[in-house]
Structure 1
Amino acid sequence: PNAFTLGFAAGASGVALRGLKADSTLVLIDGQRTAPYALDDDGRRSFTDLNSIPLNAVQRIEVLKDSASSIYGSSAIGGVVNIIMYRTYHGVEATGEMGTSQQGGGTMTRANFMAGAGSLERNGHNEYIDVEYQKTDPVYLSQRGFPFNTNNLSSIGGNNGIPGQAPGSGSIYGAVAPATLGVPGDLLTGQLIPGGLYQPLRPCGPGSTATTTAGTGSYCTQNFQGQYNEAAPQITRYAIDGRVTFKINDNTTGYINASLVQVQTVDQSAPAQIQNTSPVTTTNIALPPLLANDQLNPNDPFAANNQYALINYAFGDLPGFGSFNYVNHNMRLVADLHGYYGAWRWNTAAVLNHTSLTENFYGFLNIAQLESDIQTGAYNFVNPASNSPATLAALSPTLANTATTDLAEFSITASRHLWRMPGGRSSIGLGASVRHDSQYEPALNPGGQALGLGNTIAIGSHNVGAVDGEFQMPLLHSLTANVSARFDDYSDYGS
């Protein structure tokens, strides 16, 4: 399942050991590093996306739960997860399965095909290919019972958080209150003096409840949690993975592995609110009594009295409102050569890994267009169904972005057994690597023009050179002494 649904790294699934964050657990594939997901967890922690691994080709998973930073670097403070893929495969396998949840939603459809031929022992080579498809339908909170399907937890001693009139929690039917202009300014900077209680902008409709509270007035409450929000997103995944393994001689074997994985994640949340605090504050926004052409504003029920209308409103008519579409491509190529030289077991590998994540966000308000539509009356708050597709498209343009990460690494390792000890044979391992990492994540909301959307930017690259060594002595069958060390040199901030 997706570990990050609507967070900074939406559309991905990570792993974390020892109660630490995902960036403290190193994920390897056949002992080699992978490029991180193009969006950082919480906007600052890089991690490996497990969704981008061809799962059907996984033979086993090895987990080193102890800290391994002295061997693998600071990214392995929490531990190491090494995903071992099939080295060889012979035969044909096709599987299909389908399942759903008892309460509805989350229906999963999966199909896999794997075929391989050749024998290292008899033919000196083996080739296999793995093709995968998986689709998981969303789980809506409306498909689950209390308390998941509502924001009203008052029956169990909690708060009633159902949107209606709290700042930034308007319904799609809107609520307005009369006000007069205290300090002149534009729609965002002008200061208004409230002059009465709230009332619905239009009659409460399906999915809402007419509510009146002392000191606030009347408005429509709406259970967004049970009407719009998801517990789990829709995920569609395609993967193809191929490997050619060849035997050079009795002591040397190599392989070339290539994979391409596409994962599409579609999330949905509640409609955009006219009141927000990011990147600008619009909690005091109001409809003016006069439009830009000096005509009375038909959206302002207090216009005849030359009063502004403080407004709390959710835009339920925007195309694709509250939806997020992520399409991640992960392309990986590995060339590996390993074998024995005397008592030494050695391994050398080169890895090229590129990820590309396309994001499309729908239903966010363009601040400049919102101001213009309010001043000109182009957007009809009283009858949203009359708004033209062109008006809605201008008010809420699709926000698109493409973020990438790249990894290129060459590594060499060697290990051997030494002398016998009471608990077994001592051993030594040595390693060296050079690596290039880069990340390009431009701003999704350049200029801060989308209301309710922050910005994260990550653009940069560095080169890393590292050497490491480990000496292991089994003093007893139940007691092992281990000495290890690692040195990293980063091109951007030292060693």
Structure 2
Amino acid sequence: MKVKNTITMKKKTLALCITTALLASQSLSAFAADEEDIERIEVTGSHIKRHNMDGPSPVTSISASDIAKTGVTDLIGLFAKLPIAGQGTFSTQANSSDDTANGGSSVSLRGLGADSTLILVNGRRVSVSPFAKGIDTAFVDINNIPLSAIKRVDILKDGASATYGSDAIAGVINIILRDDIDGMEISAKIGDTADGGGKEQSISLVFGNHTDKTSNTFILDYFNREGVLYADRSYSSTANQAERRPNDPYATDFRSSSGIPGTIALNSDPTKRLADIWGNDKCPSESITQDTDENGDLTGYNLCRYDYAPHMTMIPASERFSFTYMGKYEINDNMRAFVELNGQNAKTTIKGAGSPSFNELFMAGDNPNHPMADMPDHEFYQQDLTMRRRMVDIGNRIKKVDSNYYRTVLGLKGELGEWDWEMAYSYIKSTSVERGVDGFPNSRRVQESIDNASWNPFEPSQNSQAALDYIETTTTRVGKSTNRTYDAKISGPVMELPAGELFIAVGAEYREETINDNPDDQFLRGEIFGTESTAASGSRDNTAMFLELAIPVIDSLELQLAARYEDYSDFGTTTNPKVSFIWSATDDIAIRGSWGTAFRAPSLSQLGLGRTDESPNLVDTIRCDAVGNVNKACEPQEYTAVFEGNPDLGPEESTSYNFGLMYNITESLELSLDYYSYDIENIIDSDTQFVFSNFGDDPNVVIRLPTNIANDPGEVVTIFDSFQNIGDLTTTGIDLDIRYALETGMGDFRFSYILNYVLKYEDKRPDVDGGQRINVKEGDFEQPQFRWTTAVDWSLDDVTANVAINYIAEFEQDQSVRVQGDGTILAPLDAMVTVDASVNYYGIENTTITLGATNLFNEKPPFAYHDFMGFAVNTHNGQGRFAYLKASFKF
């Protein structure tokens, strides 16, 4: 049963919790024994402050200097190299004019999805991007945080809903900002790729001061990156894989069936179509392909194809300006005020080929511009026509996205005896305006211009500039998301046990979230074709209370218990517990483990998505089974799928556990080994191919146009789909981290090796019999079983150097690209190995000069059959070698 409370009652509950906690601390602290004043720190994964970083949960910390050694220029560049990052991690790579989250990036721990990885800044939530990725994935855009503002990044590698609430199924990434600057530092960096595009410039200014009562840190950061087109890389410069691989029978021609001047077809039977309609090669002969009938024989009906790849963005142009302020003021010896202010303006430019139309436009048989008006013997004479046409004559598509991010935190913290307390108010807002500034046609105006003969789609050279200006439009999409939070917590010792003090943390949080994604009326009326857009609106509030205990069982064993109660205004309540321990078996060996439950609330986009058109690559299995490979029905191609949100969605729920060993083998050699397991139920997703294959003959699910081919169910116009709690996922694996330090007469060396090995990954979805099938498993497409990174750092006098090797294992091709019935198994994608290197010179006072390169040997991504670009954009990087020079000066 859903539990609904008014906002007023929830705020009163929160206030009561805060008051109770503070009163309890005052009475308990009176009985606390005096101890040596050793500073306790809060470690990611727990609200209880402790004296060291080692806790029951596996946490990896990456310092600012560690980040600098990688040579990356933004956070997603760092996270994409992490062995723990998996499918669902996405950068601005592959942002195109059809993308719904242009300019955004986020990380997916363990391949469980970007919306199952909780992103925190200084331990607090931030708002999600107003534009969801892939229309349904709500994500925190990590491009909002510049590297210059980061002190360290903590990665908690097990479920943490008992501590932090929703979205922490896979783990938590906590970004800690710099707040310890006393002086001034300026850094500048330039870089360029080996193969064209992608030039970068960045500059940052960091300054601050400390006094007895105040601390102020200011950070200004500017970043500019030139765009990269698929045309800039030889392996992605054409959408025709068959041309690049002429002896490969499975290389696909992904060129669009919407060309220029295009293909005409009979409105009564769209399978009868012609490209070279005048017999004078208006469509270049190399762009014409011929259809086959149900027997695979050529029919003589042609398609005028179009190579869109050279015009599309691989990596969009980006310009970002950020500011950060971290301030503290000591009110008295036991109380401090703090302020955190962050903001960023980001401008992104995305390019794509001219808008395609797929049978949306029509020409009457008596139209003056009818191409067969003077051919009475032609079968198309005086017939109503439809067409596949690309609107190149009004220009290629360009979208510009202007995004603003603001984060404000105001708070108090202090001590009451031996108890630490903190309370804060935070407000985060993200806004984005996406404008289509070139190459976007208005279908209503286009059809009107065809009907009144002012624009001739079949003779582009005859059209006036005024006619082109009339059919072209500009588009606008405005998004906004907010997160308003009140939180309070208190922690400290409760009592003395034989093995030490029992610590407790208790707290409460009240949060209000909103999201709005509003395309302009042209999108809502369906007047913009060939480009995807979303519409979503929603709001919710949430009240949470949490409790945590750290219990010293014996001198060498600590048990940690945590529980969090959540009350959501839109789907009800949930309680999630967690039990963890750390046992110091010897001075050099520690064993840790955890078990807990976690959940992910359905995103506001998934609940409130309005009618949204998508263009997934699907196989029409029903038509393929009925009439064979007519019009490539047995091969993957784009279809129009219409999605809407589902207000009846429930949360995803998971159970996870972790068991690990930390071993200091010698003073110079240490390792940690962790086994993890996740079992997730009620995954929120869609499976359009499943719907298409199993309900493709239901006119309420799939709209088709009839043809004159016997037994042909018809050519697909639209597929309707929505989000469901549709499946389950289980994954297990091993994390290994080895560190070794060696001092020699030729310098000091530090070696590291980090491995993630996926033992099992099973993404299960419904089958036709009401059971489940394994949709994705370990080793499948974009699911490599293991990744590792090994590095060596060397330092001698005024010089340091770093070399890192990044390895992504092979994985299977997307086998759906094969023609149905072909039993051939495509060979897997090769493993990809890249090398990063950098050298630092400190011989000039207060100055650091760095020369480095990522992907030093310009390794190309392995070939993939699944899409036109020929590589797995969600797993492999197409940037190539990027060389850079950086200088930093301290004053």
TM-score range, shorter chain: 0.7 to 0.9
Give SS of 1:76's match: coil
1:246 to 1:197, Cα distance in 2 relative to 1, 3 A: closer
Over residues 188-210 of structure 1, what are the superposed CA-to-partner deviations in whole Å (9 max), with x where a residue is unaligned? xx525877754156966899835
Equivalent position amino acid for 1:175 in 2: T
Equivalent position amino acid for 2:130 in 1: A
What aligned pairs does 1:409-448 form with structure 2 within 5 A after superposition?
Answer: 409-417=485-493, 426-444=502-520, 445-448=523-526
Over residues 132-161 of structure 1, what are the superposed CA-to-partner deviations in whole Å (9 max), with x where a residue is unaligned? 111111111111122564332453332432
Give SS of 1:300's match: coil
Give SS of 1:43's match: coil
What aligned pairs does 1:366-405 form with structure 2 within 5 A after superposition?
Answer: 366-385=442-461, 387-405=463-481
Q: Any conservation in 2 of the 1:54–1:241 contact (CA below 8 Å)? A: no
- CA distance in 2 between partners of 1:459 and 1:64 (Å): 31
- CA distance in 2 between partners of 1:425 and 1:138 (Å): 57
- CA distance in 2 between partners of 1:466 and 1:94 (Å): 42
Residue 137 of structure 1: which of 218, 226, 230 is its match?
A: 226
Residue 300 of structure 1: which of 362, 371, 388 is its match?
A: 371
Residue 265 of structure 1: which of 343, 348, 363 is its match?
A: 348
Tell me whether 1:41 sits opposite 2:130 in the alignment: no
Uncovered stretches (5+) of structure 2, i.e. residues with no partner: 1-75, 77-89, 291-297, 574-891
- CA distance in 1 between partners of 2:273 and 2:128 (Å): 54
Q: Any conservation in 1 of the 2:208–2:216 contact (CA below 8 Å)? A: yes
Query: Match for residue 279 of structure 1?
Result: none
1:10 to 1:303, Cα distance in 2 relative to 1, 3 A: farther
Question: Shift in Å at residue 247 of structure 1?
Answer: 1.5
Question: Shift in Å at residue 18 of structure 1?
Answer: 2.4
Tell me whether 1:171 sits opposite 2:259 in the alignment: yes
Query: Match for residue 316 of structure 1?
Result: 392
Give SS of 1:317's match: helix
Q: Any conservation in 2 of the 1:99–1:108 contact (CA below 8 Å)? A: yes
Tell me whether 1:9 sits opposite 2:84 in the alignment: no
Query: Match for residue 151 of structure 1?
Result: 240
1:87 to 1:174, Cα distance in 2 relative to 1, 3 A: same
Give SS of 2:148's match: helix
Over residues 64-122 of structure 1, what are the superposed CA-to-partner deviations in whole Å (9 max), with x where a residue is unaligned? 111001111121111111111112311111111111111111111111112212x24x3
Q: Any conservation in 2 of the 1:174–1:220 contact (CA below 8 Å)? A: yes
Query: Match for residue 21 of structure 1?
Result: 113
- CA distance in 1 between partners of 2:141 and 2:434 (Å): 16
Report which stretch shifted further, 310-319 or 426-435: 310-319
Report which stretch shifted further, 417-426 or 451-460: 417-426
Residue 360 of structure 1: which of 413, 435, 443 is its match?
A: 435
Q: Percent identity?
A: 25
1:162 to 1:458, Cα distance in 2 relative to 1, 3 A: closer
Q: Any conservation in 2 of the 1:174–1:202 contact (CA below 8 Å)? A: no
- CA distance in 2 between partners of 1:288 and 1:339 (Å): 77
Q: Any conservation in 1 of the 2:355–2:392 contact (CA below 8 Å)? A: yes
- CA distance in 2 between partners of 1:195 and 1:331 (Å): 55
Over residues 11-44 of structure 1, what are the superposed CA-to-partner deviations in whole Å (9 max), with x where a residue is unaligned? 2111221221111111111111111110123323
Give SS of 2:129's match: coil
Q: Any conservation in 1 of the 2:228–2:313 contact (CA below 8 Å)? A: yes
Q: Any conservation in 2 of the 1:172–1:316 contact (CA below 8 Å)? A: yes
Question: Shift in Å at residue 403 of structure 1?
Answer: 0.9
- TM-align CA RMSD: 2.9
Give SS of 2:204's match: strand
Residue 546 of structure 2: which of 451, 468, 493 is its match?
A: 468
Question: Shift in Å at residue 60 of structure 1?
Answer: 0.7
Residue 335 of structure 2: which of 241, 252, 256 is its match?
A: 252
Query: Match for residue 537 of structure 2?
Result: 459
Equivalent position amino acid for 1:351 in 2: S
Query: Match for residue 404 of structure 2?
Result: 329
Give SS of 2:241's match: coil
Q: Any conservation in 2 of the 1:351–1:408 contact (CA below 8 Å)? A: yes
- CA distance in 2 between partners of 1:377 and 1:99 (Å): 52
Query: Match for residue 128 of structure 1?
Result: 217
Query: Match for residue 489 of structure 1?
Result: 567
What aligned pairs does 1:61-210 form with structure 2 within 5 A after superposition?
Answer: 61-117=153-209, 119-120=210-211, 122=212, 124-146=213-235, 149-153=238-242, 155=246, 156-163=248-255, 169-176=257-264, 179=266, 191-192=268-269, 197-199=274-276, 209=286
Query: Match for residue 237 of structure 1?
Result: 320
Number of positions where the alignment pairs a residue of Structure 1 with one of Structure 2: 463
Q: Any conservation in 1 of the 2:402–2:433 contact (CA below 8 Å)? A: yes
Q: Any conservation in 2 of the 1:272–1:365 contact (CA below 8 Å)? A: yes
Q: Any conservation in 1 of the 2:263–2:274 contact (CA below 8 Å)? A: no
Give SS of 1:397's match: strand
Question: Shift in Å at residue 383 of structure 1?
Answer: 4.3
Equivalent position amino acid for 1:19 in 2: G
- CA distance in 2 between partners of 1:202 and 1:346 (Å): 81
- CA distance in 2 between partners of 1:363 and 1:477 (Å): 70
Tell me whether 1:275 sits opposite 2:364 in the alignment: no
Question: Shift in Å at residue 3 of structure 1?
Answer: 2.2
1:247 to 1:368, Cα distance in 2 relative to 1, 3 A: same
Over residues 203-253 of structure 1, what are the superposed CA-to-partner deviations in whole Å (9 max), with x where a residue is unaligned? 66899835464423566544322x212221111111112232212222222
Question: Shift in Å at residue 482 of structure 1?
Answer: 2.4
Equivalent position amino acid for 1:402 in 2: V
> TM-score, with normalisation over the residues of structure 1?
0.85
1:473 to 1:109, Cα distance in 2 relative to 1, 3 A: same
Give SS of 1:77's match: coil
- CA distance in 1 between partners of 2:279 and 2:453 (Å): 16
- CA distance in 2 between partners of 1:94 and 1:160 (Å): 50
Q: Any conservation in 1 of the 2:230–2:236 contact (CA below 8 Å)? A: no
Query: Match for residue 43 of structure 2?
Result: none
Q: Any conservation in 2 of the 1:252–1:338 contact (CA below 8 Å)? A: yes
Question: Shift in Å at residue 374 of structure 1?
Answer: 1.5
> TM-score, with normalisation over the residues of structure 2?
0.49
Equivalent position amino acid for 1:341 in 2: L
Query: Match for residue 224 of structure 1?
Result: 308
1:400 to 1:310, Cα distance in 2 relative to 1, 3 A: closer
Give SS of 1:161's match: coil
- CA distance in 2 between partners of 1:201 and 1:75 (Å): 58
- CA distance in 1 between partners of 2:268 and 2:184 (Å): 72
Give SS of 1:374's match: helix
1:477 to 1:139, Cα distance in 2 relative to 1, 3 A: farther
Give SS of 2:331's match: strand
Query: Match for residue 185 of structure 1?
Result: none
Q: Any conservation in 2 of the 1:207–1:222 contact (CA below 8 Å)? A: no
- CA distance in 1 between partners of 2:450 and 2:100 (Å): 31
Equivalent position amino acid for 1:238 in 2: F
Report which stretch shifted further, 342-351 or 382-391: 382-391
Equivalent position amino acid for 2:222 in 1: Y
Q: Any conservation in 2 of the 1:197–1:215 contact (CA below 8 Å)? A: no
- CA distance in 2 between partners of 1:461 and 1:16 (Å): 25
